[in-house]
Chains A and B, each alone.
Chain A
Amino acid sequence: MHIPDGYLDLSIAGLFFVLTLAVLGYSIFKLRGAKLTSLFGVLSAAIFAAQMLNWPIPGGTSAHFVGGSLAGILLGPYAGSLAMAIVLTIQTLVFNDGGITAWGANVWNMAIVNVFVGYYIYQTFSKFSRSFSAFLAGWLGITIAAIFAGLEIGLSTSFAYGLSITIPVMGIWHAVLGIIEGIITAGVVSYIATRRADLLEKKEVGKASFVLIAGLIALSPVFAYLAEEVGYSEPLENAAEMLGLEENPIYESIFPDYTIPGLDPYTGTLISGAIGVLIVLLLAYAVKYARSSRKDT
């Protein structure tokens, strides 16, 4: 479900960056003063390790656990979303699993939508059956997160497939695989309930915060649609156009089209090529010099 760089329009990537930073910032604000650093850190590592487990499914293939809903159930939505954001940041910056510009969208889907939806589904139904509510949280959490991923790439004009393809593909596939996520979440929650039920106690969230974050999640597709309509998709090109750079080049090349004015094209190309090679060699020498001086110090 990790969206790579290049699949999202810049406007949509930027929008989800802003939304994600707003919710994560609010989560950090809510957790201020609580000595929870090690809990995020070690549990993020645990979620990361649990994601490496490959569960065999009938047909010879396998699926892996995501753990967003479980993070919400165990840590509460604020700490859970931070823990998942940590996992996703490591996956982006160490494994290049998910793009840097798509970080906002990926965290929004797997660390905010998945965690908050999973947490509230669990809290709503846990009074009837703890295991069943954990199953529902795991299953629906991942499925809804996948639908959001489908929505983001479907709305992006860079990705030529429209919503009618991306949402069903992501949604249906994850709804099937999500059953395993649900079963494992239910297994984990049932086991923890028998050993340390205190960890599953309801976390204080606050009604206003719930309404605000639920509203942001519900409205984010509308924001994404509007961001796409406004058409900020190619800001650098827009800026270049606005500055008139296409019509009035700001720099006349020394060797236009790899030739030298006054010389015949073949000789000009040969000389400009040689000068180019010389520049690269000088640059390489400068780097070598700088590197050796850095090592000496």
Chain B
Amino acid sequence: MHVVLEKTLKNASSYFQNFFIHDYSSNGAIHLIDARIKLLSTIVFVILAISTFEFDKLSFLLFSLILISAILGLSLKRLFSRVWLFSIFSFLVVSPLLIQDLKYPFLFTLRVTVAIIAVQMLVMSTSFAEICSALRSLKVPEIFIHGLWLAYRYILVVFQDIISILLARESRRVAKGSHADLWRKGGESVGLFFLRSIERAERVQLAMASRGERVIQSKFKFGLLEIIYITLSAFVALWCIVL
């Protein structure tokens, strides 16, 4: 079980950094822009990126997104550190096709990279509460948004539960055991974890019933920053279509 614990904690530590990326990716102007506008712009940028294989359009989009990020105060170093690995992975996936078509693997990687940069611009500059508020204003059903918000808030709490259960099991273990033993006993541990989670959910439901279910406060802004961002996004989108 110690292998599961070790690998899980290692994996989780890098995973949980994502929860705070919008906080430690510096507080630039892009962080202050309304989340609805950033979400919609991101969707437009991603659709533009994945609708073409033309080098001109893709390189224009790449350059524009990097320029917008730099102007609006997003750390380019952090942005690239979150993009390069997947870009290389995508290139490796299609690299055997280099023999048939020299251009395709590069263009494919370029469009994936542009799409990831667009999404990272949103992820790095927007807290999840703002994203939930934006989704609500886009008329996503309340039940789904409440579920999203609760899940996001409880991930760390329930993760602590599962680690406690695994640690307790590990401390009681006296024999090494085979892989099959590990999976079976692991299954039991996860079973206990889900039971505890269900009981926790029942308690949370009672607490929500007693104090009301509204969990997300909507806060929207529309000022000069938003106008600048919309203008930039619209300019990039139109130019990309015309190009």
Partners in one complex: yes
Give A contacts to B, CB under 8 Å.
4-8, 10, 13, 24-25, 28, 31, 35-46, 48-50, 52-58, 62, 64-65, 70, 74, 82-83, 85-87, 89-90, 93-96, 99-101, 158-161, 180, 183-192, 195-196, 199, 233-237, 239-240, 245, 249-251, 280, 283-284, 286-291, 293-295
Chain B 177-221, CB-CB to A under 8 Å as 1, else 0, gives 001101111111011111101101110110011000100000001
The residue that A41 contacts in the complex, of B11, B90, B180, B201, with Cβ under 8 A, is: B201
B65 at the interface (CB under 8 A from A): no
Chain B, 102-135, CB within 8 A of any chain A CB: 104, 108, 111-112, 115-116, 119-120, 122-123, 128, 131
Indicate if the CB atoms of B213 and A37 lie closer than 8 Å.
Answer: yes
Bound Cα distance from A180 to B101, whole angstroms: 39
A35-B205, A39-B205, A287-B29 known; A54-B4 Cβ under 8 A: yes
Indicate if the CB atoms of A37 and B182 lie closer than 8 Å.
Answer: no
**In the complex, what residues of B have CB within 8 A of residue A233's CB?**
51
Chain B: residues with Cβ within 8 Å of the partner, total of 96
Indicate if the CB atoms of B190 and A42 lie closer than 8 Å.
Answer: no
Indicate if the CB atoms of B198 and A62 lie closer than 8 Å.
Answer: no
B92 to chain A, nearest CB (A): 13
A90-B148, A287-B29, A291-B29 known; A55-B186 Cβ under 8 A: yes
> Could you list 11 examples of A-B contacts with CB < 8 Å?
A46-B197, A54-B4, A55-B186, A56-B179, A89-B148, A101-B47, A160-B97, A191-B195, A234-B52, A288-B29, A290-B223
Indicate if the CB atoms of B3 and A56 lie closer than 8 Å.
Answer: yes
The residue that A188 contacts in the complex, of B161, B162, B191, with Cβ under 8 A, is: B191
The residue that A250 contacts in the complex, of B32, B187, B197, B242, with Cβ under 8 A, is: B242
Identify the closest chain A residue to B128 (Cβ): A94
Identify the closest chain A residue to B100 (Cβ): A160
Indicate if the CB atoms of B123 and A6 lie closer than 8 Å.
Answer: no
The residue that B52 contacts in the complex, of A65, A85, A237, with Cβ under 8 A, is: A237
Bound Cα distance from A149 to B161, whole angstroms: 32
A195-B195, A245-B242, A294-B223 known; A42-B151 Cβ under 8 A: yes
Bound Cα distance from A191 to B50, whole angstroms: 45
**In the complex, what residues of B have CB within 8 A of residue A38's CB?**
150, 201-202, 204-205, 208
